[in-house]
Structure 1
Amino acid sequence: MTTISRGTPAGTERSPLFCDPALAARIERAEVELIAQGNAAASRRRPPGEAVGFVLPLAGGVASYAEDGSPLNKVAGLGFGVVPTANDLAEVERAFASRGAPVQAEVATLADPAVADLLTGRGYRLVSFENVLGRALDGAHRTVTPPGIEIRTSGQDAFDQWLEVMADGVAVSDTEGVAAHEEFTREVLLGAMRDLAAAVGVRRYGAWRDGVFAGGASLRISGDIAQFGGAATVPAHRRRGIQSALLAARLADATAAGCEVAVITTQPGSKSQHNAQRSGFDLLYTRAILVREPA
Structure 2
Amino acid sequence: MHIKTLSPALLAAALTTLAGCSTATPDTSVPRIGAGEPFTAELNCGRLPISAKGDDDLLLTVGAEQFVLNRAISASGARYVAEGEPETSLWFKGEQAWLVLAGDEYPLCVPSDTIIEPYRAAGNEPFWSATLDGGQLTLNRLNEGESPAQPYMPGETAGEVVTNTAPPIRLQATDQLCRDSMSGMPYPQRVNVRVDGTTLRGCGGDPARLLQGGEWVVEDINGGGIIDRSRVTLNFWRNGQVNGRASCNNFMGEYRLSGEGLSMSSPATTRKACAPSLMEQEQRVLRNLQTLQGFDFDDTGALLLRSAEGSLKARLEH
For Structure 1 versus Structure 2, the TM-score category normalised by the shorter chain is under 0.3
Structure scoring higher RCO (CA < 8 A, sep ≥ 6) equals: 1
Q: Which has the higher helix share?
A: 1
Q: Could you tell me the TM-score, scaled by structure 1's length? A: 0.27
